[in-house]
């Protein structure tokens, strides 16, 4: 058990840690980058089952993300029930049909052309799990009094980043999906009023034939501005 020091009445523990020598640090940073660079967003999933414990570990990893005032303003809904997946697919496709046909600008459709996406979302039924991240803008205490959370969007964005890295680490594939608008998820999953859908992430094995666009990532010179 770590030693606890009390500062102004609040408990602290010492986080001083052994780190790597310069060479090891360079190696580790390089290999982590190279490995993260192999992650791709996937839209073709296999229906092969994934152990529930794996999904739990992935979500526990996401929940290690920093958050405003450590409020952890997120809930992860995990859907594997085929009936609910079908309902989500149907509702999402309805919104997406409307978006692709009437809501998205010509420029937006043009920008999406290299991805070859459309309103059909079969992966919402095929992937073994759908993780729906809800952001919690506030909390209710036992007396039903409202309490604010802070930097909720930033916190959930970071948690989703951790989630995607954990999925990649497990050898699984994911899609950051944002059917728009997403409020049908609040209804379908019967979420409370302090939660709003943030991101829908199908997760599973990539399909045996899984074509992804041949994209390039920004080079270091386009990324970093030094002062």
Q: Which positions touch ligand IYR (CB under 6 A)?
A: 96, 112, 115, 117, 177-180
When the beta carbons of 177 and 191 are compared against ligand IYR, the nearer one is 177
When the beta carbons of 25 and 115 are compared against ligand IYR, the nearer one is 115
Q: How far apart are the first and last CA of the chain?
A: 43
When the beta carbons of 89 and 136 are compared against ligand IYR, the nearer one is 89
- Cis before residue 49, ω within 30 degrees of 0? no
When the beta carbons of 135 and 136 are compared against ligand IYR, the nearer one is 135
When the beta carbons of 69 and 115 are compared against ligand IYR, the nearer one is 115
What's the half-sphere exposure (Cβ side, CA atoms, 13 Å) at 119?
16
Q: How far apart are CA 209 and CA 47, in angstroms?
A: 13
Q: How far apart are CA 95 and CA 87, in angstroms?
A: 13
Please state the closest distance from residue 43 (CB atom) to ligand IYR, in A.
9
Q: Which residues lie closer than 8 Å to 139 by C-beta, 6 or more apart? A: 71, 146, 147, 149, 194
Please state the closest distance from residue 178 (CB atom) to ligand IYR, in A.
5
Please state the closest distance from residue 184 (CB atom) to ligand IYR, in A.
13
Please state the closest distance from residue 199 (CB atom) to ligand IYR, in A.
11
Which H or E run contains 13? Answer: strand 10-13
Please state the closest distance from residue 58 (CB atom) to ligand IYR, in A.
22
When the beta carbons of 7 and 113 are compared against ligand IYR, the nearer one is 113
| Residue number closest to ligand IYR, CB atom | 117
Q: How far apart are CA 104 and CA 215, in angstroms?
A: 22
Q: Given phi > 0 = left and psi -120 to 50 = alpha, else beta, which region is 190?
A: left
Q: How far apart are CA 15 and CA 2, in angstroms?
A: 9
Q: How far apart are CA 202 and CA 43, in angstroms?
A: 9
Please state the closest distance from residue 85 (CB atom) to ligand IYR, in A.
16
**How many H-runs (helices) and E-runs (strands) does the chain carry?**
8, 8
């Amino acid at each position: 058990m770590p030693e606890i020091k009390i500062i102004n009445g609040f408990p602290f523990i010492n986080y001083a840690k052994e780190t790597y020598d310069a060479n090891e640090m360079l190696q580790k940073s390089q290999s982590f980058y190279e490995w993260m660079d192999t992650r791709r967003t996937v839209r073709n999933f296999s229906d092969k089952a994934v152990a529930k414990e794996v999904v739990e570990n992935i979500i526990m990893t996401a929940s290690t993300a920093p958050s405003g005032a450590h409020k952890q303003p997120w809930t992860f809904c995990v859907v594997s029930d085929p009936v609910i997946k079908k309902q989500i697919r149907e509702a999402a496709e309805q919104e997406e049909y409307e978006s692709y046909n009437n809501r998205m600008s010509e420029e937006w459709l043009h920008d999406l052309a290299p991805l070859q996406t459309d309103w059909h979302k079969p992966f919402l039924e095929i992937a073994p799990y759908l993780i729906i991240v809800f952001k919690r803008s506030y909390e209710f205490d036992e007396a039903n009094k409202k309490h604010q959370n802070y930097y909720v969007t930033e916190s959930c964005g970071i948690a989703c980043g951790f989630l995607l890295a954990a999925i990649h680490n497990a050898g699984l594939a994911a899609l950051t999906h944002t059917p728009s608008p997403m409020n049908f998820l609040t209804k379908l999953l019967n979420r409370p009023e302090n939660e709003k859908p943030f991101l829908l992430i199908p997760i599973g094995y990539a399909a045996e034939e899984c074509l992804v666009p041949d994209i390039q990532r920004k080079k270091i010179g386009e990324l970093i501005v030094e002062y």
